[in-house]
Amino acid sequence: MKSIILKLLHQGYEFIAFSFCCGFVASFFIPIKGFLLFVIAVTFADMATGIRAAKKEGQKINSRGLYRTIEKLVTYWVGIIIFELTKNTFSLQIPITYMVAFLIATVELYSISENIKRITGVELGVLITRFFKK
């Protein structure tokens, strides 16, 4: 243990401070990485299905629509990070980050479902209820 500490001290205090900061930041983001990655996936899936639906309907694809994807992505990330910070700061026992991520997922999945209906003409909700009625 003594040799490890001596090796770290030889690296310099800047290295130690940088390592400490990286560890602190990683300890915050690692528990919510699944939420952040899921938000990326559903946002880009919504964009892809939206583009496909617009092409099918003969609508023009413009930069404003693509900008909205980035805007949503940043907003969702900020929302998840802020609520995780709130949970950690106030030591809340309520899984508030899960609730926020669930709401974001619901909005995006509903949008994807609408886009699929525009593309195929079939509502996913109807298909799912028919599947479970059998």
> At a CB cut-off of 8 Å and minimum separation 6, what does 87 contact?
94, 95, 96, 97
Q: What percent of the chain has pLDDT over 90?
A: 67
12 or 49, higher pLDDT: 49
Query: Which has the minimum average pLDDT: 13-22, 31-40, 91-100?
Result: 13-22
CB-count exposure of residue 35 (10 Å: 0-12, 13-18, 19+) = buried
Residue 77 has pLDDT above 90, yes or no: yes
Using the 8-state DSSP alphabet, how is residue 93 labeled? -
